[in-house]
Amino acid sequence: MTKTKAKTAKKSDPLDLVVTAIQTALEDLKAKDIMTFDVRGKTAITDMMIVASGTSSRHVKSIADNVVKFAKEAGFAPIGVEGARESEWVLVDLGYAIVHVMLPRTRVFYNLEKLWGGETPMGQALEVEATA
């Protein structure tokens, strides 16, 4: 069954509301390896970075479109969406949070998790694929 509305956040904090909408949208379309980074104090451009993978360029685009849809339903219009045409890496800027939806090979190459202080969740199999 497809969810049509974002789960209700426990707090009325805008950051909590937008992150809840994003998580719901990502889970709704079965995004892979979802990671959330609190980047307050590390950058002035946003409070949260959320990185997820899709299984194909069509899946990446669909996930990003779903993030936009759920964010709008929660009252957060995107500031911008980049990369939707190629759909290897789609960035959705929602102000309080920036969502990166990527193909696995693109995600391994850019390794945003390392940049923001986490570890790549995708395992050594994809690291080997990236070097091949």
Give the global pTM.
0.81
Structure confidence at residue 12 (pLDDT): 78
CB 108 within 8 A of CB 28: no
> Residues 26-75: pLDDT tens digits?
999 999 999 999 999 888 999 999 999 999 999 999 999 999 999 999 99
- Which SS3 state, helix, strand or coil, does residue 76 take? coil
Structure confidence at residue 120 (pLDDT): 55
> Residues 60-115: pLDDT tens digits?
999 999 999 999 999 999 999 999 999 999 999 999 999 999 999 999 999 988 88
In percent, how much of the chain has pLDDT > 70?
80
CB 2 within 8 A of CB 31: no
Tell me the two tokens of residue 126: 């994809």
CATH fold, domain 14-103, is: Beta Polymerase; domain 2 (3.30.460)
